[in-house]
Each structure stands twice: as C-alpha cells, then as structure tokens.
Amino acid sequence: MTLANASLSLVFSPKWMTARARIRQERSGRGTKAVLIGTVGLIFWLVVFGVLYRVLRYFRGVEEIGPLLAGKLLGLVLLAFLSILLLSNIITALSSFFLARDLDLLVSSPVDWLQLYLAKLGETMAHSSWMVALMAVPIFTAYGTIYDGGFLFPLIALSIFLPLLVVPAVIGSAITLILVNVFPARRTRDLLSLVAIAAAGLLVLLFRIVRPEQLARPEGFQNLLDFITLLRTPTSPLLPSEWATQVVMGWLVGPMDPLPILLLWSTAAALVVFGALLHAKLYTAGFTKAQEGAERFVKGWIWKSLDPLFRRLRVAKREFIIKDLKLFFRDTTQWSQLILLGVLLIIYLFNIKALPLFRGEQVPFFLVTIVSFLNLGLAGFVLASIAARFIFPAISLEGRQMWLLRSSPLDLRALLWSKYWIGTVPLLVLALTITIFTNVLLRATPFMMIVGAATITLLTLAIGALALGFGALYPQFETENAAQIPTSFGGLVFMMTTVGLIAAVVVLEAAPVYAYLQAVNQGGRLTFNPRMLASFLGVFALCTAATVIPLRIGLNRMEGFEF
Amino acid sequence: MIRLSGLRKTYGSFVAVNGIDLHVPRGELFGFLGPNGAGKTTTLRMIAGILRPSAGHITLGGDDIVTDPMSAKQRLGFIPDRPFVYEKLTGAEFLRFVAGLYGQEGDIVERRIDELLDVFELSLWKDELVESYSHGMRQKLIISSALIHRPEIIVVDEPMVGLDPRAARLLKDLFRQFIERGGTVLMSTHTLEVAQAMCDRVAIIQRGDIVAQGTMDELRNQHDADASLEDLFLKLTGGTAMRELADVLEG
C-alpha cells in the first residue's frame, strides 16, 4: 500500500484504536467507575426527560397553540445547540487542525489534503458535539413519546440531527482556519477562549436579566391572536435549526414537508465542499503560521510588587504561592474562567433579589429565614463546583514537574499547605460575599447572619481540603488541560462527597434554626439549649474532620507518588 | 559521595533494578551505561528521591535518601532526561523558584541566576516564557537549575541530548571543574564516546544488574585488552547479535 492512497479510515485509525484501548482499560478492573458514571448519566437523562415530558404534556393539552409552543421550544433548544456547537467547534478546531501532536506525522506523510480535512473535521465534530448529542437523546425521546412519533421517529431525529452537527463543525473549522491565517495559533487560542467564555457569560447574564419567568404571566399577553400569529412565524427561517424543527414537528403533528430536510442535507453537503476548498487554499499557510509565535516577554514588575504580601512566609512556601499565581494568571484558558465565575455570582445575587418575598405588606419572616438557611446549601454547592474547577486539578497540574519537586528538599506539607491556602482563601472571600450579601438582600436577622457566616466558613475550609485531598487521591498527571480534570472520576467522587457533607451540615443545623423560628414565632427570646449546642458542635466537628482527614490522606498519597 | 547498597526496584513481578551495589566517591565522575530499558533511569530516579526503592539503601554524602530525605536532597542536583518545566514562567523566574525550594533567596540568588544564564548563553532569554524555549534551551535551563544551590552531588540522566556541540563542550568542562573541586557526578549516557572521554569509572547495567564496573583499563583487562568501550559495551550487553542491516534497508 502506498501512503498516497491512505484512506480516511487509516488516517482516523489511531484515534479509533486509542479510544478502543481506553474503553478496554476502563472495563478491566474499573467496573465501579463505569457503573457510577452510567448512573449519574442516567439520572441526568431522566431528569431532562421528566421535565420536558411534563412541559410537553401540558402543551399538548392546550388547544390550538399547544403544538406551536412545542415547536417554538424545540426551535429554541436546537438554536441554542447550534450556537453552543459553533463556539465549541471553533475552539476544538484550533487544537485538532493546528496544535494536535499527530499533525507533524500527518502533514509530513503523503496523506491527501481532502482525507486530512475530512479526518480532522470528523475529529473536531466528535470532540465538540458528543455532549450536545447525549443531551439531545432525552429531548427527542420526550417529543417522540408525547406526540406518538412511532418507531421511525428515531430515524427522523437522527436524519435532522446529523446535518445539525456537520454545519457548525464546518463553519467553526472555517472560522478557525481564517483566524489562524490572521493571528498566531497560540494567540488565537487565548483570544478564542476569552471570547467564547465572555460570550457564554453574557448570554447567560442577558437571559437571566430579561426575566423570562415574566412571560408566563397572563397579563403579559394583550391579544391572543397576536400571540398566535407570533408563534406561527418562524423565528429565523434561514437557520438550519428552524428547518430541523419543521421536519420534527411536521412528522409529529403534520403536515410533513420534504423541503426542510432537503435544505438541511444539501446545506450540510455544500458547506463541506466549501470548507474543503477553503482548507485546500489556506491550510498550509495557516499550519506554518501555527508553528510560530509562542508568547514571549512578560512583565515581571507586577509580580515583584506582590512580594511584600508574602514576605513573612518561608521562602519555599512564598515561591510556591507566587509561582502558582503566575501560572494561573498567565494562562488565558485558566483565568478566563473567572469571567464565568463573576457571571455566576451576579446571577446568584440577582436571583435572590428577584425572589418575590417582599411584595406583601408584612415581611414573611418565616420564609426569609428558611430561604436564608437553605441558601447555605446552595452556596455550598456553588463553592463545591468552583473548588472542583480550580482546587481539584492543583496536584494533577504539578505532574510533569514532579521530578523537580520530589528531587528537591521541599517538604510536601509545604506544597500541600500552599496549594490549600491559595485555593481556599479566594474561595472563602467568595463564600462570605455570597452569604453576607444574600442575607443583606433577604434582610435576615443577626442570628441567621452569624449562623450563615460561621457555617459557610467551616464548609469552605472543608470543601477546599476535600478538593485537594481527592485531587491527590485521583491525580490526572497526563491531562494538560486543567478544565478536563474536574470531569474525571475523581472529580465526580469529590462532588458526591461534598454534596453529602453539605446535606449533613444542613440537616444538623435544621434543628437549631427550627428552634429559633419557633422562639421568634411565639414572641419569646431564643435560649441556647444543649441540643442546639450539640448541633453546632456536630457541624464544627464534621467540618473539621472533613478538613483535616482529606489533607492527611492527600499528603500520604503524595508521599507515595512515583514518576 | 554516593553509595548504593542492595538497591532493588520491582514493579509487580518485573524486576527493574536487581539489588545493585555502587560507590562513587567525592571527586569522581562516574558513568552509568546500559541499553534501553536496562534500569539506568530507574536507578537515577531512586537516587534523586523521585522513586522509592523496593529494597536497599541510598546514601548521599552520608545521608539516607529515604530516612533523611531533606538533608540528602540538599546535597543533590538532579538533571532529568526530559526537560519538563513550567511553561508560563520565565527562565529567571524558574531559577528563582528552584532556589526557593532549596531555601535560598535574596541578592546571592539573583547574582547566581545571572551567572548561570550567562554561562549557558540564556541571558537574552532571561525574561521570556519557557514555552518559547527550544528543547536545547530548556535542557540548559534545567542544568542551571540543578546548579543554582551549589550542590555537592550531581545526578544526570542523558546530559547531552538536545545540546548543541558548544553547550555539550561547556557541560563537559563544567563537570570536570565540578569534580576537581570535590564534587561528585553520576551520569547515565548512551554516548559511549562521551563516557570514554569524561568518566573516571563506568558501570554497565543490563536487565537491572551491574555486569561490569571499573576504569576503562580495568574493564579492558577483565574482558579484552584491545577492545574499545563500544566493543565492550556490545559484548557485555549482547548487542553483537544485530540484524542484517542490508535486510532492513533494502526491504
């Protein structure tokens, strides 16, 4: 066989064989992991299916506008998918077409440009679409079940979904191809990750701030006929998501029109041809450019000015903290996540502010206290997610440099200590901000304010330790991308343990909060009884144990690391 | 001084290093030779405290690496074969960080950084991120980092890989001067010319066992008086049974 005739399947084969080997490895001896991930995935599917099933059943019961609403909802979902896929494909294409490690081999081999394009397009599409594809399964199942789609419905769904994946993959790859020809690849990667995260954050923020829940209020509709007319008009007749909606709703409620499905497939095919031509024209120049231009000079004075902050620490700890801060803030893919965090915080506070608690004349004291108390659990969950993203990967990210840390006289306790505080202090600031601000917004009493602040402090210290401990127990030394580390098995175990801890704390504190509510309700003063004290002591003991034990276990595990 | 006694490393049933004994005194440059997979890197990584021995002892200047790791590592500078460093630090920042790991700071460290970067011709790149360094530049940076705290012992795995002839020469001179001042160097290498030219003594390791050790003259006397180090190496490691090159090249 000559390489000039290398088929698409041959170019694809290393990826395919790697995936197969990985599955085989997972199967051998890691059955629990598969069961756990499968269960969580199934629960997620069931929740999505359940929610949509109820919504669609309600729509089905509404005369005249029911199917229109269902179609509109599907159109919106598919449009959201299309936007997410476009962003995700643009970013993935940069890695698969320009930065992947196998490119040197492929480009230097006599592989036909078209085969290379198609293989890389397929890889880009698979990497960026699998999550959306999994998400689509319960959605289409709910539509098929409610509207009796019949046994051919999965085929119909598949026939519209495939071109919906191809279109953003081709457009995304083409945009990346053009960008790489204009900017250096590494600069493009930074730029894209920033733009993508800012765009996603802005989208979520806008969506929340327009308060879609108000649309559900009947006083919002002045004229039913106007509303129905609006529903009948396609939102965006030129978008593939609209064509896909027309096919699905045509099949489910009629009348079936073959034009949209033709439009979908012909557009996808035409775009692949267009993408291939663009690839033939621009890829070589872009690939050459992608090999150049790493980021160069950096401004050290900013960091020097931070030195006095850590002056009191021992030199090894100080250098470690400064090093970690530098690595974080110089990596766009890392710090740009802070934008999302900011958005999350704004939305969180906005949601609390938007709660309809203070509409009536009398302030519902009972409700405010309960919301303020349950807010602890919610804030804990938010903190756990943030810790999973930022603290959990901390040990894994040292993997490649572990030769240096292990061969130097660095006490591993100092390493763990630095990692713990550098992750936990900002988390604590965030936790206290969320808790105190929400309690101020809720006009909570001083008792709830103190209970909230103290509990969230203890919880944060524990969450930080759990993240680091589980990060050391389940290290991912081979993964270079920090964002992928929290989605590993260890990340899942960490999240489950943390949710368990938060639940235990909420349950333990429920008794004293209830006693407080009762006391205020009966107009009396709150007196501390041994039961309340035992509850608070229980929370203290639990959080302390959840702080100390994971750090100890993490340290032991790190001492046993071999490279 | 490096002393290994009964050093053994196993991975399940696979024996990577099979109870070796070795003594490298002060002021000696010792070469550690062997084919791929013979156990060289595993031994060096155990000496550096990165891998834990399954059995046996390692002492560096009298301090045991397992029971007294802090004192033992303080004496050591380790240069690995693959130059993984923090990509988002500059060369100077990386050296400052490594000095910090050894508890060193201040003007002395800053002077030492300038000195080392100057010697290895990296001064121009001092404030540039490591991600823009070539393989050879990274290797030079790692060598500098191993010297930043003025170690007594240097353990180095394949030092010449990726270095240009100028830097390779510089490194040879540097090691020579280092041992003349009382330092100890244990170096693994595949380049037999380098070993022959630089090392006071060598050991040849094969499938986890030391099959020969001594000065060049001692090895010749033991095996074949006229043989070069390459001949001895091939003889001791079974490398004479090579494939017919013509078959491979002509297909």
Strands of the sheet containing B184-188, edge to edge, are: B76-79, B153-157, B184-188, B29-33, B201-206, B209-214
b/e map A77-97, b = 16+ CB within 10 Å: bbbebbebbbbbbbbbbbbbb
Taking the C-alpha atoms of residue A62 and residue A70, their distance in angstroms, rounded to an integer, is 10
Taking the C-alpha atoms of residue A322 and residue B96, their distance in angstroms, rounded to an integer, is 11
pLDDT at B180: 92
**Quick one: pLDDT band at residue A550, thresholds 50, 70, 90?**
very high
Over chain A, what is the mean pLDDT? 82
Residue A306 near chain B (CB below 8 Å): no
Strand partners, B214: B202
Strand partners, A148: none
Residue B102 near chain A (CB below 8 Å): yes
Taking the C-alpha atoms of residue A28 and residue A84, their distance in angstroms, rounded to an integer, is 35
- The SS3 of residue A194 is helix
Q: From the candidates A2, A398, A404, which should be mutated to test the interface with B, based on the most B CB atoms within 10 A?
A: A404
**pLDDT mean over A517-529:** 74
pLDDT at A199: 76
Distance (Å) from the C-alpha of residue A527 to the closest C-alpha of chain B? 53
User: How many CA atoms are closer than 13 Å to the CA of A211, on its beta-carbon side?
Assistant: 10
Residue A61 near chain B (CB below 8 Å): no
Kind of pairing, strands B2-11 and B14-24? antiparallel
* Residues of chain B with C-beta less than 8 angstroms from the C-beta of A322: 97
Summarised one tens digit per residue, pLDDT across range A87-102 is: 888 888 888 888 887 8
Taking the C-alpha atoms of residue A41 and residue A15, their distance in angstroms, rounded to an integer, is 24
Structure tokens given for A180: 């790489």
Domains in chain B: ranges and CATH: 1-75+171-251 (3.40.50.300)
**pLDDT mean over A388-395:** 90
Summarised one tens digit per residue, pLDDT across range A243-254 is: 999 999 999 887
B81 to chain A: closest CA residue: A403
> Quick check: A382 and A348 in contact, CB under 8 A?
yes
In the predicted model, is pLDDT for residue A189 greater than 50? yes
Taking the C-alpha atoms of residue B113 and residue B109, their distance in angstroms, rounded to an integer, is 6
pLDDT at B4: 93
Kind of pairing, strands B14-24 and B209-214? unpaired
Q: Which residue in the set B50, B93, B100 is minimally distant from A403, CB to CB? A: B50
Distance (Å) from the C-alpha of residue A400 to the closest C-alpha of chain B? 6
**Quick one: pLDDT band at residue A225, thresholds 50, 70, 90?**
low
pLDDT in single tens digits along all 251 residues of chain B? 899 999 999 988 899 999 999 999 999 999 998 888 889 999 999 999 889 899 999 999 989 999 998 999 999 999 998 878 898 899 999 999 999 999 888 899 999 999 999 999 999 999 888 988 888 899 999 999 999 999 999 999 988 877 888 888 898 899 999 999 999 999 998 777 888 888 899 998 988 999 888 888 888 777 766 777 777 777 777 754 554 555 656 55
**Quick one: pLDDT band at residue A214, thresholds 50, 70, 90?**
low
The more confidently predicted of residues B62 and A296 is: B62
Taking the C-alpha atoms of residue B140 and residue B156, their distance in angstroms, rounded to an integer, is 12
In the predicted model, is pLDDT for residue A445 greater than 80? yes
Summarised one tens digit per residue, pLDDT across range A413-437 is: 888 988 999 999 999 999 999 889 8
Write down the residue that tokens 């969450």 correspond to. Answer: A463
Distance (Å) from the C-alpha of residue A556 to the closest C-alpha of chain B? 14
Summarised one tens digit per residue, pLDDT across range A258-292 is: 899 999 999 999 999 999 999 999 998 888 877 76
**pLDDT mean over A360-373:** 70
- What is the distance between the terminal CA atoms of chain A, rounded to a whole angstrom? 40
Q: Cα–Cα distances in Å, from A1 out to A5, A10, B250? A: 7, 11, 17
- What is the distance between the terminal CA atoms of chain B, rounded to a whole angstrom? 51
**pLDDT mean over A315-342:** 82
Q: What is the ipTM of this complex?
A: 0.84
* Residues of chain A with C-beta less than 8 angstroms from the C-beta of B51: 562-563
Nearest to A417 by CA among A547, A544, A560, A562: A547
Which of A3-7, A443-447, B162-166, B168-172 is predicted least confidently?
Answer: A3-7
pLDDT at A228: 61
Query: Does the beta-carbon distance from A331 to B93 stay under 8 Å?
Result: no
- The SS3 of residue A209 is helix
Q: DSSP letters along A411-438, please?
A: -HHHHHHHHHHHHHHHHHHHHHHHHHHH
B49 to chain A: closest CA residue: A407
pLDDT at A357: 65
Q: Cα–Cα distances in Å, from A133 out to A45, A82, A127, A241? A: 12, 11, 11, 14
Q: Cα–Cα distances in Å, from A507 out to A442, A462, B151? A: 22, 17, 56
Q: Which residue in the set B49, B88, B132 is minimally distant from A326, CB to CB? A: B88
Q: Cα–Cα distances in Å, from A365 out to A132, A439, A456? A: 43, 13, 22
Exposed / middle / buried, residue A359 (Cβ in 10 Å: 0-12, 13-18, 19+): exposed
Query: Does the beta-carbon distance from A326 to B93 stay under 8 Å?
Result: yes
A328 to chain B: closest CA residue: B88
**Quick one: pLDDT band at residue A194, thresholds 50, 70, 90?**
confident
Nearest to A261 by CA among A250, A270, A271, A273: A250
Residue B76 near chain A (CB below 8 Å): yes
Nearest to A389 by CA among A343, A423, A345, A420: A423
Q: From the candidates B78, B89, B101, B158, which should be mutated to test the interface with A, based on the most A CB atoms within 10 A?
A: B101
Taking the C-alpha atoms of residue A461 and residue A217, their distance in angstroms, rounded to an integer, is 43
**Sequence-separated (6 or more) residues with CB below 8 Å from residue A141:** A49
Q: Which residue in the set A297, A315, A563 is minimally distant from B50, CB to CB? A: A563
In the predicted model, is pLDDT for residue A4 greater than 50? no
Q: Helices A446-473 and A412-441: crossing angle, nearest 10°? A: 150
Q: DSSP letters along A113-172, please?
A: HHHHHHHHHHHHHHHHHHHHHHHHHHHHHHHHHHTT--TTHHHHHHHHHHHHHHHHHHHH
Structure tokens given for A549: 């034990």
Distance (Å) from the C-alpha of residue A355 to the closest C-alpha of chain B? 44
CA quadruple B246, B248, B249, B251: dihedral sign: positive
Query: Which B residues, 139 through 198, put their C-beta within 8 Å of a C-beta on chain A?
Result: 145
A474 phi/psi in degrees, rounded to 5: -120, 65
In the predicted model, is pLDDT for residue A539 greater than 90? yes
* Residues of chain B with C-beta less than 8 angstroms from the C-beta of A327: 86, 88-89
Which of A37-46, A289-298, A304-313 is predicted least confidently?
Answer: A289-298
Q: Using a CB cutoff of 8 Å and minimum separation of 24, what contacts does B228-234 make?
A: B228/B192, B228/B196, B229/B192, B229/B195, B229/B196, B229/B202, B230/B192, B232/B204, B233/B33, B233/B192, B233/B204
Q: Cα–Cα distances in Å, from A58 out to A70, A148, A461? A: 10, 15, 45
Write down the residue that tokens 């490649």 correspond to. Answer: A400
Length of chain B: 251
Beta carbon pairs, A and B, within 8 Å: 98
Residue A405 near chain B (CB below 8 Å): yes
How many other C-beta atoms are found inside a 10 Å radius of the C-beta of residue A436? 15
- The SS3 of residue B153 is strand
Nearest to B154 by CA among B30, B3, B59: B30
**Structural domain boundaries in chain A:** 29-290, 331-559
Q: Which residue in the set B52, B84, B100 is minimally distant from A319, CB to CB? A: B100
> Quick check: A345 and A430 in contact, CB under 8 A?
yes
Length of chain A: 563
Structure tokens given for A162: 């495939």
pLDDT at A547: 95
Taking the C-alpha atoms of residue B116 and residue B180, their distance in angstroms, rounded to an integer, is 19
Distance (Å) from the C-alpha of residue A325 to the closest C-alpha of chain B? 11
- Whole-number percent of chain A with pLDDT over 70: 84
Q: DSSP letters along B11-49, please?
A: ETTEEEEEEEEEEE-TT-EEEEE--TTSSHHHHHHHHTT
Exposed / middle / buried, residue A279 (Cβ in 10 Å: 0-12, 13-18, 19+): buried
